[in-house]
Amino acid sequence: MGGRRRTQKAKGGARNAAETVSAAVAGPVEGEFEIDTGLARLERDRYSSTGWVLYVNGVPSSHVDLAEPARLDFEYMRWIAALMRARFDPSGFGERKLRALHLGGGACSMARWVHATYEARQVVVELDGRLAEYVRDWFDLPRAPLLRVRQGEAGAVLASLTENTRDVVIRDVFAGDATPAALTGEATARDADRVLDAGGVYIVNCGDGPDLANFRREAGVLRSVFAHVVAVADPAMFKGRRRGNVIIACSQEPVVADAAAAGMRRELLGGGVPAAYWDEAKVGTFAG
């Protein structure tokens, strides 16, 4: 489920295969493009000369600023970034580099931010191989070994990975406006825990409605696997007043140290859409 932002009308019609390949090689261009799972639409951000918005089957998927990879336009991505900064000091990895796995790629907005912030070694898992090819050409992504894009189903790829090989796993997979049910169960949570190294963090983007049923269920599942579970969303979302995104972060160690929590809360309140942070106790009470 894409974050709330200013949207605009689509421009350009569908292109034939030769035109789309030519457009991809030349860089981003407005239009509609056939992909393996349907139709992608790329539009310029009317508020930024270097910004682009990607829609997948009509749903806002990603925003990319070619000039500022550290800029995140969707608020839920800014919340993920705040959690990561609070958990991982960008100067704390040295030569080893932070190791990140992204389940769900879109336009690789989050991967571009992680690269700009940490110079991490990253793998992005994207189901739609043709979309992944377009995105790499359009947005000049970092090359392997810093960033590898792997085509495949997120759960299957996660299950195939070696244990203790990632510092952060970010799940941002949607089919339309919902995460496939298979990725929200205990098996996927246990695979994420197995793949994470000591102190690693699993972060999921949970799309939900006012009843918060998805959040309650996922929080319960994650608490059965991880010792520490926290969440971030805007206050209206937590109060059941709208549909949107809840970011859940979990680890076998405290996700956010007490010394970093106050600064993270201030950062979350200062965004374009102020967000609330639920600590372990509050998530536990809510999930029952």
In the DSSP assignment, the letter for residue 178 is B
Element (H, E) at 154: helix 154-160
Q: How far apart are the first and last CA of the chain?
A: 25
pLDDT confidence tier of residue 53, bands split at 50, 70 and 90: very high
The per-residue pLDDT for 80 is 98
> Could you tell me if 69 and 44 are in contact, meaning their C-beta atoms sit under 8 angstroms apart?
no
| pLDDT reading at 18 higher than 80 | no
Residue with tokens 């969440």: 231
| pLDDT reading at 184 higher than 50 | yes
| pLDDT reading at 259 higher than 80 | yes
Q: Enumerate the domain spans of the chain.
A: 17-65, 75-287
Hey, what CATH topology would domain 75-287 get? Rossmann fold (3.40.50)
Long-range pairs for 49-56 at CB < 8 Å and ≥24 separation?
52/28, 52/107, 52/138, 52/139, 53/5, 53/7, 53/8, 54/106, 54/107, 54/135, 55/10, 56/106, 56/128, 56/131
| Choice among 20-24, 92-96, 132-136, 218-222 with the minimum mean pLDDT | 20-24
Count Cα neighbours of 21 within 13 Å in the Cβ-side half-sphere: 3
| pLDDT reading at 7 higher than 60 | no
Number of other residues whose CB lies within 10 A of the CB of residue 147: 21
Of 51, 179, 173, 26, nearest in space to 112 by CA: 51
- In the beta sheet, which residues pair with residue 102? 124, 170
The per-residue pLDDT for 271 is 74
The per-residue pLDDT for 1 is 57
- The model's pTM is 0.89
| pLDDT reading at 3 higher than 60 | no
Q: Which residues contact 142 (CB under 8 A, 6 or more apart)?
A: 112, 115, 122
| pLDDT reading at 86 higher than 90 | yes
3-state per-residue secondary structure call for 5-52: CCCCCCCCCECCHHHHHHHHHHCCCCEEEEECCEEEEEEECCCCCCEE
3-state per-residue secondary structure call for 185-216: CHHHHHHHHHHEEEEEEEEEEEEECCCCHHHH
pLDDT confidence tier of residue 13, bands split at 50, 70 and 90: very low
Instruction: Summarize the confidence of residues 152-164 as an average pLDDT.
Output: 97
Edge-first strand listing for the sheet containing 59-65: 31-35, 38-44, 51-56, 59-65
Percent of the chain with pLDDT over 70: 91
Query: Mean pLDDT over all residues of the chain?
Result: 90
